[in-house]
Chains A and B, each alone.
Chain A
Amino acid sequence: MNSVLPKQHILFVQNGIQSVFAKSVSPSVVIPCRKRVYYGSGKHKGGMIGRYGRRKYPPNWRAVNFNPAQIPKAWKPLDWDEKNRIDYEYESKLAQYIPGYKPKVPPHRREDHHDEPMHAIDNETCSSYGFPQALALTKSVVVEGGLPAKLQELQKSLPNPEDKVIKIMQNALLFDVDPCMVDTKNAVKRYKFDNFRHPTPERYCPRILKEFVRLCDAHICRVSDKYHDRFNMQNLPCKTWFQRAEKTSENVDILDVSYDWKVSIDVKTFMQLLSKNPLSLFATPDEVEETKNRELVSIYPKLLIHSIKPTHNYTPEHTTGFLETWHKPHLHTMVLNTTNDHSSKKTMGRMLFHLFCALHSRAVQQYGETPQVLAKPLAAQAIASDGRQFYAMTFQLNTTDLKDDSGVKNMVWTSAPLTDDLQIEDQYTPTLLFDECSPLLSYYPDYYHGYSPDAFATFQALWLNDVL
């Protein structure tokens, strides 16, 4: 477009004088403008005179993007297919002449290609499946009564410094530095109706979680010497894969479906607390054998791999995020940042996948890849928060044999009071740290209301389990 027009752009000219609004007009638009008569006599008073009529569109409308209605371009450009097409022959030639160049190969010729597909769960898609589907995939069962009795006692017995927790909340939400006040180049995005920028959950959620961790660790240092038996790591990757099967229901005939799948989980946790000694179990061996009589959740008519995308390019492996010689390999608790999850049912599904992935990879390291009932089960805890909503969950891995729905099952405890019907969404209630906290709440004395000490009490009970 710019190559057609001359380099000397023509601006609006009114009465021989440049118009005041020439800067707002793009110089590439050329519209012949005529004189406007403000003081005159006769029919031309207040109107237009000149050779050309009142043009609605320029004569060179094919060459110029004349769009006064500001209609966006929603037709497919002609270059789209050529730009997005990968020329594999050209890339193979580049690899001959450029040292170290890795050419793009079609997916069926890559080294990772397998005939059998693998259904992959990622960090982004982890929260799109829901809690019932996660239970059915991991062959786990919800134990009624909330969290285990040991943790409920710790919630009541441990001290709860409310003053410090409220200060943490206020520091993260009220006294946070406004980047707009410091910004001089207008690089920060401003919203229309905000006089100043509120701190977002992406900013205050990790601050609150790290300050809670610091409070709990300070309590350990005062009371015991076991602070150095634990280590807190961030952004640890974790990978596993397993085989899962499902029985067909009557009369169901679906095209191109097999009822034996490979599923892989590849996630990265916000924080993992690793310890020297394993966590004590939450269920007795008798309770573990009672799970044989319980039935799994049914998500009919969905299959277990509902909306999980299959891929033929994968590398099946089991990783815990660290080497086998690490001296603190056992998982104690895991903290998740769920600012982008908009429903509580999905955050709990995410927590379950993270827990199962971490414990399954450790079980494979310890007992091997053959699916079996574990002689010594593995246990772990998880906390997920938005900065305001807190969820707690404990998980015990009893089996890695997931081919059948029968046999021993894995066990889950949650802080939310769940019933047998897990499809009801109102029962997934989180514990709130506060109802509202912002600088606009001037009618409250400290700019917050609805504070509850239960959120920090559950966090502290899970963090200090097996230490005191």
Chain B
Amino acid sequence: MAGGITSRWLRQFVQSSLRPNQLCALSVTFRAQTVETQSLCTSCNKHGRFGHRLVKLWEQPEYTTKPLPVYRTGGRLPTKVQHSNEIVPGRVWTKKLGGGDSREWHWVDRSRLTAEEVNAKSYYQEKVIKVQHDDSRSGMIALVAGPKKERWILATETMEAGTIITNSAKMIPDAEFVDGDAYPVGMIPSGTRICSLEFVPGKGAQIARSAGNYGTILRKEGVRVIIKMPSGREINVDEKCVAVIGKVAAGSHSTKWGSPAQKRAHGIRPGSGRKKMGDDRSTKKLTPVAPMVVIGDKKVLQRSDALEE
């Protein structure tokens, strides 16, 4: 595309032709994000790109543990056919996408405890049935049987088949904060390592969800809790946000690609090689850690002001 095209242009282009709720579950930036729809989002689109994988979630009336087939876009945009209500893949928008092994998508429940359960101070336990890898994320997932239904959740390191994990918003004497348990952040003692943390209570986990990542609870100030994220930045959240104790299970995940064949199996086609030329444009710049972010009263995006200070 020519210069001057930004994510704002694409957002307007898409919104003019399609309604936000008509898009797939995996396109996050162009959907009306509510508490209900947030639980359907699985991956993120960065820098205004479009063209990740799709799952037909509108055909499922309710939550299922069955794996769903994944459809590829090849970096194509959704286009509306003239004089009809069909949406078909059109021309390429992102490069370096195509091919890859066929995948199955597991519907992972982002919220271990809903906002209603936290307010009602509920307590229940679940049993782990199996732990396995997932094609759509680096961390491992676990099939868990609760009192009413089964569901998929993010697995921690010490989870195995047969273990029992607790989800409680109720203060119990002699409570053991063990790996895999989910509590509101206000109940967890400071210094513990947590993962799959919520920013807003009831919205679902948003941080520390990839393999091996974790955050630490630094201190508490009344109703607010200050947590250190895996990037090193600090965050101030409400005490009712739910988090899971422990690190996310990595399994056989590694940060390096072993060979270009593994990249092609993942669905990444070869690039131009521009980033490896050694210019000043393509180097990684070291920046100081930004100050703490407060969620609730102010906006999260405080880029330019924070860096100048």
Contact = CB atoms under 8 A, between A and B. Distances in A.
Interface string A245-256: 000000111110
B148 A65 contact: no
A301 interface: yes
A63 B82 contact: yes
A422 to B, nearest CB: 14
B6 interface: no
A301 B146 contact: yes
Given A62-B90, A254-B122, A255-B120, A302 B145 contact: yes
Contacts of B116: 255
Nearest to B65: A307
A260 to B, nearest CB: 15
B71 A71 contact: yes
A72 B69 CA distance: 12
A75 B172 contact: no
A77 B87 contact: yes
A71 B83 contact: no
A302 B56 contact: no
Chain B interface size range: 35 or more
B86 interface: yes
* Main SS at interface, chain A: loop
A253 B23 contact: no
Contacts of B124: 252-254, 301
B67 to A, nearest CB: 15
Interface in A232-257: 251-255, 257
Contacts of A74: 24, 54-56, 71, 73
Contacts of B90: 61-62, 66
A301 B125 CA distance: 6
Nearest to A80: B58
Contacts of B83: 1, 3-4
Interface string B61-81: 000000000011110101111
A71 B72 contact: yes
A26 B51 CA distance: 26
Interface in B1-26: 18-19, 21-24
Contacts of B127: 300-302
Contact of A253 (B82, B89, B123): B123
Nearest to A310: B148
Contacts of B122: 253-255
A67 B89 contact: yes
A306 interface: yes
A72 B71 CA distance: 7
A118 to B, nearest CB: 16
Contacts of B150: 307
B229 to A, nearest CB: 30
Contact of B149 (A75, A77, A253, A307): A307
A449 B3 CA distance: 71
Contacts of A305: 148
Given A253-B120, A253-B124, A61 B147 contact: no
A133 B71 CA distance: 37
A252 B167 CA distance: 10
A65 B85 CA distance: 13
B24 A67 contact: no
B170 interface: yes
A130 to B, nearest CB: 11
A360 B54 CA distance: 48
Q: 5 tightest A-B contacts by CB? A: A74-B71, A74-B54, A78-B85, A75-B87, A301-B125
24 contacts: A3-B83, A61-B79, A65-B88, A67-B88, A69-B74, A71-B72, A73-B88, A74-B55, A74-B56, A74-B71, A74-B73, A76-B23, A77-B22, A80-B58, A252-B147, A253-B120, A253-B122, A253-B170, A254-B124, A255-B116, A257-B148, A302-B146, A306-B147, A306-B149
Given A78-B18, A254-B124, A302-B147, 6 more contacts: A1-B81, A63-B82, A75-B87, A75-B88, A78-B87, A253-B122
